[in-house]
Amino acid sequence: MDMSSSKTDDDSRAAIMALTDAVANLTQRMNDMQLVLSNITDARMPPPVDRCLTPEEFQCISDTTRSGRPNQRRDVIDTTWFTERKVEPRSEEFSQAVPNPWIQHVASTSQIEVFDGDPKKWPSFIANFRSLVHETVSSDAQRLAILNQLLSPKLRNGFSGLLANPLMYSEVLQRLHKLYGDPKVLARSNLNDLLSLPLLKSDRCGDLEIFFFKVNGPVSMMKLCGLTHDLRSSALLEHVISKLTPRMNERWVSFEATLNSVPTLETFVDWLQRVVAEKVLNSGSASTKSSASVPDRRGPAIRTTVMPVTRKRQCLVCGCLEHKLKACPKFNKMTVMERVAEVRKRGMCWRCLERGHRMRDCMSRLLCGHEGCMASHHRLLHGAPNLNDFQREVRTVTESAQADCLNCTDVGPATVTGRRHEIVCAVVPVIVRGQNKAVKTFALLDSGSEVSLISQRIANKANLAGLPHELRLRTVAGETSIQARRVNCSVSSYDGSTEMLLYQAVVVPNLHMGTRTLHLPAVKTQWSHLAEIRFPVATIAQVEVLIGMDAPLAHRYYDMKLPQNPNKGPVGVLTPFGWTVIGRLPEASLGPGQRTESSWIRRHAGFDDDKHSLERLIRLSLDVDPLAAAQTPGKVTPEERVALDILEATTKFNGERYEIGLLWKNSNVALPCNRDYALRRFFATERRLLKDPDMASRYIDIIEQYVRDGHARKVPLRESGTAERVWYLPHHAVWNTQRTKIRVVFDASARYLGVSLNDCLLKGPDYLPNLCGILMRFRMGRVAVSADIQCMYHQVLVRPEDKSALRFFWRHPGSECPPETFEMQVHVFGATSSPCVCMYAVRRAAADNQSEYPEVLQRIQRNMYVDNWLESFTSETVAKRACMELKQVLARSGFHLRKWASSKREVLSGTPPQDCSEIMMSLPPGCDSFRIHGYDYRRAHETRDVKSHC
C-alpha cells in the first residue's frame, strides 16, 4: 500500500514537471514572436525622441538675422544622428529573433521616394530615411546599401567611391546634407517657386486646391527656414495676389479690409485655406465619389440653405457704415475734379466706385446717363476731362481737344461663318418711320451690340436728322474712331401690331452683312417643326437696320419651335416683328452659291467716306516716300491708356516748370525695403571712385551740382521713415571714350527680391518720331539748324508723393562719415518712364503756348528726337524766326536750348557764345560742316560722313 502510493506521487510529480517545461517553452516562443512584432512596429512607426533642447540649440533655432536670412548656426534638419554609432548585435541574436533581418525592411523602404537631388524633397527624404532605415537597421553596411538604392543614378554615380565603403556612411550623409539641406538653398528654391507661380486658371475647387498647394508648400518651408522677413515682404505678397482671378482678388481685398495688421504671406495662406475648405464643403465632391460605388441606403434627404451674411463695409471717404460712397454727403459735396482725385487715390473703379478691380474688369454695365452721356464712367464723375482722355485714343494736347467732349460708343457686333454650317441670326421685316415718311426694310436683332445702327440710305429715305457723334469700332485688329451721327426713329412690324422707339441710333454708310439667303423649300422639308410657320425670306444684303440691346423689348421671344436636337438644327422664334429662324443650318439649306469653304469675321458697320476711299488707299500704296506719307496714329494699348491717364492727372505747372508723377503700373504697389542692397552697391561704386581720383572729382562735382540746382536734396532723419513708398537707387558713372564728360546713371533696373523700380513703372506711349525721317528732312532745306535741351530729364519735377521712390546714398569717397540719404526732385536718367514723361512735358509746353506760337508744336512733333531738335529751312530769315519761337516757348517751361549749330552762321548771330556748340565755335569762317547725331554734316558736298572707330 505504501509502495503504490509513493509510485503515484512520483508519476504526478513527473507530469507536473513536464507540463511546466511545456509552458516555459511556449512562453519563450511567445516572447520571441512578440519581439519580432515589436521590431516590425518600430520600423513602421518609430517612437518619438523626447529630449529637452539646450539653450544653445534653442538660440540656434530662434535667432535669425535682421535681413531675414537664417543664422549661420541654424540647421533646419537635425544632423547629429549622422555620426551616431550603435552596438551591432551578434549574428546568433539575429538568427534567434528573425531568420532574415532584411525581410522587415523591404516593405518600409519601398515606400521611400528615390531622391533625385531636388532640395525641396530633401527634408522629407532624410526624415523618412532616418525613421525607416537608420533607426531600424543596425549595420552601417546595410544602411549604406539601402541608401545606395534610394539615390537616383546621377547621385549614385557621383558618390560611387563613398558608397562602396561602409565606413563612409556618415560622410555620405553629411555631404548630401551640405549640398541639398542648406537652409539658404531651401529658401532660395522655395522663393523661386513663388516668383514663378502660374496664374490661377479659374475659381473652381480643383484649380483653387492646386493653387493653394503651390503657395502653401514654399511658404511653409520658408517659415521652417526662419525667413520671416521674406514672409512679410509686401512685394512678394503683391506678386502672389496678382496671380488670382479678378473675383478672388475682390474677395481678398474684402478680407484685407477687415484686418487690423499688415497682411503677410502666412495671412494669405490661412485665408486661401479657408476659401478652399469652403469650396470643398460646398462642392460635395467627396460624397458624390463615395456614393458612386456604394448602394443607395440613405434615409430621407435633408436640404439646407446657406444664407450668406454680408458684413457692412464702411464708406471709403468718411468711414461711415450707414451708407456707401455713392450716397456719401462729403463725397457729393466735392467738385468733379476732387472726386476724380479721391477715386484715383483710393484705387477705385471709375464705373462702380468700388475697390478691388479696374474699369475694364468691372461687372457693372451701367452707363453714365447724365444729360444723355453714354460713356462708361459713373455719373458722379461726369464732366471730368481726364476721364474722356482715358477712354479715348491718345491725342496731342491741342486746341482740337474740345472734340474729346463727344460721347464714345463701343460697337462690337460680328458674324462668324464656319466651314460646314451657317449660323443664321434673327432677321425680321420692319418699317422705319421718320419725319412723315416710312420705309420698308429688314432688321437684324443683335443682342451682342450695345447700340442700334441704321444705314445711310434708309436714314435719307426716312428723312432722319441728328447730331454728330464719335463712334468707336472695336474689332480684332484694334480700335478706331469714326465720325457718325445719332438719330431718333421708330420701327414697327408690317402689320402694325408692334412699334417701338430707337433712341440715339447711329447712322453708318452701310451695313456689311454678306449675301446669304435661305432656301425656303429645303428648310421646311428638312425640318418639320418649321413647316407650319411663315417667316420672311430675304437676302442678308437687304438688312439695313441693326437693333441692339439699347432696345431690349425688341429681343423678346413669345414662342419657339424647337427641333428634336436643338444643338443640330434651326429654331423658329416668334419676335415682336413676326416669325424668324435662328441657329445652325447646314450648307444644303442655303441659297445657290452661298456655300462657304473658309471662316471669317464680319464687322457690321462700314464707312466709305473720303478718308477710306479706294482711290486714297491706292494712292497710299503707291506712295513710297516716307517723308511725304501721312503719319497715322498707332493703336493704343491698355498700358498706354493708363499712362496717359496718369500724365493728364498729375501734370501741374508751377509757373517755371512742369511737375509730373511717376507712371506706376499699380497705384497701390508696395516696394520691398532694399536699403541694405543699395548700400552694398554704393560701397562698390565708392571703391571704384577711390581707384580713379580724376573720375571721383568729377563725380563729386556732379552730385554737388544736383544739390545746388535743386535737382536733389538731403533727406532729414525725421523724414526717413515717414514715406509710404521708398526705394533706394544704386548709381554709377558712364562715359564716352570720345569725350571727357561723365554721366551719373541711376540703376532703376536693379532687382531686389525679384523686384526693380522699372518693373513697377510703365513705359508710356512712344513719342519718338522716325529718326531716318528726321535726318532726311534735315537735308531738304538750304539752311540746317540743330540744338538740344540742356539736362532735359532734370527740368521736369516729380510730384511729392513719388519722390521717396528716387532716394540714393552719397558721401565723399573715403569719408569716415556714414552715407547720407538723398532724394531726387526731378526725373532721372535710367527710369523706364522718364523718356515718355519728359517728352510729354516738352509737347505740353508747346501745346499750352499754341495760341501765341502755332507752329512750334508741329516742329517738336516732327523734328525733335528726345532732346535733340534738327530742322532745315529755305532761308536764313525763316530759320532765325523758327529758332527764336522755339527758344522762347521752351524757356517758359524751364527747358533751355543750347549747343546751337547751323550751316549758316547768320542764323546764330544773336545766340550767346556759351549756348553755341563747341564745334560750331571752332569752325573757321566759310566752313559749313558740323557733326550731329554721329554724322559729319557737309552742306557743300551734299554728303553725310560716318566715322567708324575699330
Q: Which residue has the higher pLDDT, 699 or 931?
A: 699
- Percentage of the chain lying above the pLDDT 90 cut: 19
Residue 68's pLDDT band, with cuts at 50, 70 and 90, is very low
C-alpha cell of residue 486 = 445719332
Whether pLDDT at 285 is above 60: no
Whether pLDDT at 909 is above 50: yes
Q: Which residue has the higher pLDDT, 182 or 327?
A: 327
Specify which of 41-45, 378-382, 496-500 reaches the highest per-range mean pLDDT. Answer: 496-500
**776-791 CB burial, b ≥16 within 10 A, e <16:** ebbeebebbbbbbbeb
User: Residue 698 has what pLDDT?
Assistant: 92
Residues 413-425: what's their mean pLDDT?
Answer: 55
| pLDDT per residue as tens digits for the range 380-389 | 887 765 454 4
Whether pLDDT at 561 is above 80: yes
Whether pLDDT at 795 is above 50: yes
Residue 190's pLDDT band, with cuts at 50, 70 and 90, is confident
- Percentage of the chain lying above the pLDDT 70 cut: 67
Whether pLDDT at 110 is above 60: no
User: Residue 402 has what pLDDT?
Assistant: 35
- First-to-last alpha carbon distance for the chain, in angstroms, is 136
Residues 809-826: what's their mean pLDDT?
Answer: 93
User: Residue 530 has what pLDDT?
Assistant: 80
User: Residue 90 has what pLDDT?
Assistant: 43
Residue 510's pLDDT band, with cuts at 50, 70 and 90, is confident
Q: Which residues contact 705 (CB under 8 A, 6 or more apart)?
A: 711
Q: Which residue has the higher pLDDT, 162 or 454?
A: 454
pTM of the model: 0.40
Nearest to 415 by CA among 403, 404, 427: 427
Nearest to 793 by CA among 755, 743, 849: 743
What value does the mean pLDDT of the chain take?
A: 74
In Å, how far from its chain's centre is CA 11? Answer: 98
Specify which of 58-62, 288-292, 532-536, 781-785 reaches the highest per-range mean pLDDT. Answer: 781-785
Residue 816's pLDDT band, with cuts at 50, 70 and 90, is confident
Whether pLDDT at 478 is above 70: no
User: Residue 920 has what pLDDT?
Assistant: 59
What span, in angstroms and rounded, lies between the C-alpha atoms of 157 and 852?
82
Whether pLDDT at 915 is above 80: yes
Whether pLDDT at 601 is above 70: no
Whether pLDDT at 67 is above 50: no
Q: How far is CA 932 from CA 438, 923, 950, in A?
A: 69, 14, 20
DSSP conformational letter for 586: E
Provide the pairing of β-strand 543-547 with 438-445: parallel
| pLDDT per residue as tens digits for the range 719-739 | 877 778 899 999 999 876 665
Dihedral angle of Cα 903, 904, 908, 913, to the nearest 10 degrees: 70
By the 10 Å C-beta count (0-12 exposed, 13-18 middle, 19+ buried), 442 is classed as buried
User: Residue 826 has what pLDDT?
Assistant: 95
Whether pLDDT at 23 is above 50: yes
User: Residue 250 has what pLDDT?
Assistant: 82
Q: Which residue has the higher pLDDT, 795 or 367?
A: 795
User: Residue 686 has what pLDDT?
Assistant: 94
**For 926, what's the count of Cα atoms within 13 Å in the CB-facing half-sphere?**
0
Whether pLDDT at 183 is above 90: no
Angle at which helices 834-848 and 638-650 cross, to 10°: 60
What span, in angstroms and rounded, lies between the C-alpha atoms of 413 and 446?
7
Whether pLDDT at 103 is above 70: no
Q: Which residues contact 107 (CB under 8 A, 6 or more apart)?
A: none
Residues 204-209: what's their mean pLDDT?
Answer: 85
> HEC string of 388-423?
HHHCCCCCCCCHHHHHHHCCEEEECCEEEECCCEEE
Beta bridge partners of 600: 417
Specify which of 664-673, 680-689, 898-907 reaches the highest per-range mean pLDDT. Answer: 680-689
Neighbours of 856 (CB within 10 A): 22
Q: Which residues contact 179 (CB under 8 A, 6 or more apart)?
A: 117, 185
Q: Which residue has the higher pLDDT, 285 or 586?
A: 586
User: Residue 13 has what pLDDT?
Assistant: 58
Residues 332-346: what's their mean pLDDT?
Answer: 82
Percent helix, strand and coil across the chain, each rounded to 5? 45, 20, 40
C-alpha cell of residue 383 = 464732366
Please tell me whether residue 860 adopts helix, strand or coil conformation: helix
734: left (phi over 0), alpha (psi -120 to 50) or beta: beta
Whether pLDDT at 878 is above 70: yes
User: Residue 834 has what pLDDT?
Assistant: 93
Residues 868-886: what's their mean pLDDT?
Answer: 91
What span, in angstroms and rounded, lies between the C-alpha atoms of 820 and 812?
10
19-28, 203-212, 273-282, 472-481: range with lowest mean pLDDT: 472-481
28-37, 238-247, 648-657, 683-692: range with lowest mean pLDDT: 28-37
Residues 676-694: what's their mean pLDDT?
Answer: 93
Whether pLDDT at 453 is above 70: yes
DSSP H or E segment with residue 32? helix 2-44
Whether pLDDT at 658 is above 80: yes
User: Residue 729 has what pLDDT?
Assistant: 95
| pLDDT per residue as tens digits for the range 836-859 | 999 999 999 999 998 899 999 989
Beta bridge partners of 605: 511
What span, in angstroms and rounded, lies between the C-alpha atoms of 547 and 443?
7
